[in-house]
A and B are shown apart, each in its own frame.
Chain A
Amino acid sequence: MNAEPIDRELVPDEEAVADAAAAEDRRLLERTWKYASGLRGWFAEVDHSKIGVRYIVTALIFFALGGIEALMMRVQLARPENRFLGPDLYNQVFTTHGSTMMFLFAVPMMLGLAVYLVPLMVGTRNLAFPRLNAFSYYIYLIGGLFLYTAFFLNTGPDAGWFAYVPLSGPQFSPGKRVDVWAQMITFTEISSLAVALNLITTIFKQRAPGMSLNRIPLYVWAMLVTSFMVVFAMPAVMLSSLMLALDRLIDTHFFNPAAGGDALLWQHLFWFFGHPEVYIIFIPATGIVSSILAPFTRREVFGYMPLVLSLVATGFIGFGLWVHHMFATGLPQLGASFFTAASIMIAIPTGTQIFCWIATLWGGHLRFKTPLLYVLGFLFTFVIGGLTGVMLAAVPLNLQVHDTFFVVAHFHYVLIGGAVFPLLGGLFYWYPKITGRMLSETWGKISFGLVFVGFQVTFFPQHILGLEGMPRRVYTYLPGTGWGSLNLLSTVGAFILGLGVLVYVLNGLVSLRRGEPAGNDPWGSDTLEWSVSSPPPPYNFQFLPTVSGRSPRWLWHDQHPVITGLRSDRREFLITNLMDAEPDHRQVSPGPTLWPFILSLGVGVTFIVGIFTPWGLPIGAVPVTIALIAWFWPRGDQGHKLLKEKS
């Protein structure tokens, strides 16, 4: 294998274009894979990059809404006994903030980015199930719109994003607020589960020839582990939110202690999902960190195998931690010790990853562009969050700081520092690929500075507030507690952070028109998405690439083989085998169709009517069944061998 790096001009994709036959083939491909157009086309689109961008934009809008809610809370808490938000509105705002950030921003953002990137990174033309992908997006969108419609109608959920029973049960939360929450959860879970299946299948079966398991980019590994965690964690919250909805709607008694139910059952089910959820958000971020490090250090990320094993280990251990959210419920000592041990041990794979990244920095030729700055900000912030996490795993200390602002500080260090910083860095890094233009580096650095400083000023004081006795989820506090000045400081920080995000977003909007054209590969990156034009063509690769190492683009040379023989007159793509990605067979990918959208409407009707009456199920079953049958009805137009003609 020739490991000499090569000039960009020799990339096979571009060279092949010179050939007239190739140009003709390309025209054919463009016609076959053309994006659907018009309003109808918008709802019929099944292309992963189009839908991925929709995911990213939608998630960013929800991020902005969640951020505005955060600022409202910070204003309310800026001084004691403030009257900016009353308790009723405050409870809706903090519940909607948490639910938005977890279910409508973080998870869909991470999955949506993967919807965009994974097919490009593994070298295929679309996700394995393009129509399912479209369905996932619509069902997510419906869930988000539903929550915010309810919020603006003063029916926003107000029992916390964790919705503990009995507070969220029929007796203590009459009205429809909690039902809105439960159904929104169901929508976003269905969406995430569908994306997870899509990603797993795409990563397992559609990798470019030569991309054996030990050559998969670290980002793709991260998404694979994340997808498996989604598959096994999300059913828990689907089941528990179903039980909650039924307790509220048809008087079942799952959580009613007076009739044999148990309030703690909710907590077990919820945290069995809720803790892996944190890793579902964090693990994709580790993949982004690795993706950014390689081009900006000019080195392969150090320790591929330890990093992959750490991801897998995190995925497994992540399911053994849920009880550390429940130490204060009074568990038997032995059980609590087990969960302490598991919670502390997850620091081992996390530490391993951090050491590998630092080693990469040490061995690299650094270029201090904005994405790398976000990675450095991530290291600083996430290490603090990880260490306070170790503290929280200790039962006695947990009993003091659990449900206080110390925990609020901890998980914002982990989720903003650990996931949002890499995400902002990653969006900066992939923005040229998605839009074809560069972001302003100057404004990028300014926004990083504001975000980093604003974040620390907002959340560091909250550690101290928690130790000084300030509980979470309070809409106000007494003046005599002495918490006023640190809270004011935190509020000031929140506005600096908000300004930083605003600068970042404006940079993104302005650069859409004004940015420098990016070219295929502005950063000199190693992974396959940078070998195609920016933005990529609808078919991604004219000739599917082959891969000969972990940093495929740094290993390419003029005799690097490509794949030919896929038909261009229909949406063909290559299926490879699981372990070694050897070519196995060809399949035809479905084109634009409205049925996924219609199905998502049917599911939406089922759940939304289901809030008011159990008849939602039979009412919704009709459109759902029709849409499903129409979706799967074989049309015989995909060029397969016909066993029987249409009669």
Chain B
Amino acid sequence: MKRPPSIDVSELPTTAFGQRDPLWWGVTGVMCIEGTMFALMAASYFYLRGGAYVWPPPGVLHPGLGITTLNLAILVLSIVPMHLAAQAAEREDLPKIRLWLAVSTVLFVAFLSIRISIMAHLTFRWDSHAYGSLVWVTVGLHTLHVLTGIVENLMFITVLTRGPVEDKLMDDLRLNSMYWYFVVACWVLFYCIFYLDPGLLGTRGV
């Protein structure tokens, strides 16, 4: 009997970027899951708001658009070094990746510090009313994501410093940046809901 013909794949590469890489699908899937969760959180917000006479409840003083917008700006700005880090990863330029990861980590930490100060000065707690629960739990969930981003960046910086560094890591770095854009986008949504919406539309009277 003859042996069957074969298709030789030994010349194919062992890494690929973007949609070609299975890990891209994994990370995209995680973003779908968490995006759905945050979207449902926002839906819950509007559901409870629709059933309330006064929204936000009396006694809720917001920290002001100034500080919250500044903090949002810091977060959005962090996209720039993350993007530059991803580009450097494409070029396999290890020192540049490390530099931009460090810059973005500083921005994350700054964002988190200002957020802590904002939350510490709120006039309500998570157990004050449902509005407080929504704000605190959303901020809490998002903070977990920011912390994850910080830990990931620190891990990458350590790996890049100590080695070994494989070309496969470059793809992980790009996915790391992609995930960070998602974390930023989530907060843009909730910034609009928590701070712009009551400011622009005013509170609904009894």
Contacts and interface: CB of A to CB of B under 8 A. Distances in A.
A and B touching (C-beta < 8 Å)?
yes
Interface residues of B, number: 65
A638 B168 contact: yes
B127 A559 contact: no
B162 to A, nearest CB: 6
A584 B19 CA distance: 11
A209 B149 CA distance: 37
A569 to B, nearest CB: 12
Contacts of B25: 128, 197, 200-201, 204-205
Interface string A238-256: 1100110011001111101
A238 B29 CA distance: 16
Interface string B123-146: 000111111111011000000000
Q: Among A235, A260, A635, which residue has the most Cβ atoms of chain B within 10 A?
A: A260
Contacts of A262: 47-48, 51, 130
B74 to A, nearest CB: 24
B137 A246 contact: yes
A330 B132 CA distance: 28
Contacts of B26: 128-129, 132, 197, 201
Contacts, number: 225
B48 A561 contact: no
A246 B162 CA distance: 41
Interface stretch (B7-15, B104-112, B181-189): B7-15
B15 A640 contact: yes
Nearest to A584: B20
A152 interface: no
A636 B92 CA distance: 16
A586 interface: yes
B14 A588 contact: yes
Contacts of B130: 252-254, 256, 259-262
B33 interface: yes
A231 B34 CA distance: 9
B201 interface: no
A247 B136 CA distance: 13
B47 A268 contact: yes
A323 to B, nearest CB: 13
Interface stretch (A10-18, A297-305, A333-341, A415-423): A10-18
B2 A558 contact: yes
Contacts of B19: 578
Given A232-B36, A636-B164, A583 B4 contact: no
A331 interface: no
Contacts of B61: none
Nearest to A193: B33
A543 B137 contact: no
A64 to B, nearest CB: 31
Interface in A171-214: 193, 196-197, 200-202, 204-206, 209
A645 B26 CA distance: 28
A647 B137 contact: no
A235 B166 contact: no
Given A250-B127, A262-B47, A575-B22, A236 B13 contact: no
B66 to A, nearest CB: 27
B16 interface: yes
Interface stretch (A502-510, A518-526, A533-541, A625-633): A625-633
B151 interface: yes
A249 B47 CA distance: 23
B76 interface: no
B126 A634 contact: no
B37 A239 contact: yes
Contact of B3 (A15, A204, A234): A15
B159 A633 contact: yes
Nearest to B41: A239
Contact of B151 (A236, A256, A625): A625
Contacts of A239: 37, 40-41, 44
Contacts of B3: 15-16, 19
A586 B10 CA distance: 8
Contacts of B167: 640-643
B51 A200 contact: no
Given A543-B6, A561-B6, A585 B129 contact: no
B99 interface: no
Interface in A30-44: none
A562 interface: yes
A354 interface: no
A583 B136 CA distance: 48
Interface in B55-108: 57, 92, 94
A88 B20 CA distance: 55
Nearest to B134: A254
A350 B166 CA distance: 49
A5 interface: no
A128 to B, nearest CB: 4
A529 B1 CA distance: 24
A309 interface: no
Contacts of B160: 644
A227 to B, nearest CB: 9
Contact of A254 (B16, B34, B133, B155): B133
A641 B15 CA distance: 9
Contacts of A586: 9, 12-14
B44 A265 contact: yes
B5 interface: yes
B126 A252 contact: yes
Given A253-B127, A586-B13, A634-B169, A562 B4 contact: yes
B116 interface: no
A556 to B, nearest CB: 9
A378 interface: no
A260 B52 contact: yes
A642 B47 contact: no
Interface in A321-375: none
Contact of B165 (A235, A584, A625, A642): A642
B163 A636 contact: yes
A299 B161 CA distance: 60
B122 interface: no
17 contacts: A201-B29, A231-B32, A243-B133, A252-B127, A252-B137, A256-B130, A259-B130, A260-B130, A561-B5, A565-B10, A565-B12, A575-B22, A587-B15, A634-B165, A638-B168, A640-B14, A640-B168
Interface of A: 10, 12, 15-16, 18-19, 128-129, 132, 193, 196-197, 200-202, 204-206, 209, 231-232, 234-236, 238-239, 242-243, 246-247, 250-254, 256, 259-262, 265, 268-269, 272, 543, 546, 558-567, 574-575, 577-578, 583-588, 625, 629, 632-636, 638-647
Across chains A and B, which 4 residue pairs bring their CB atoms closest together, nearest first?
A636-B164, A565-B10, A252-B133, A260-B130
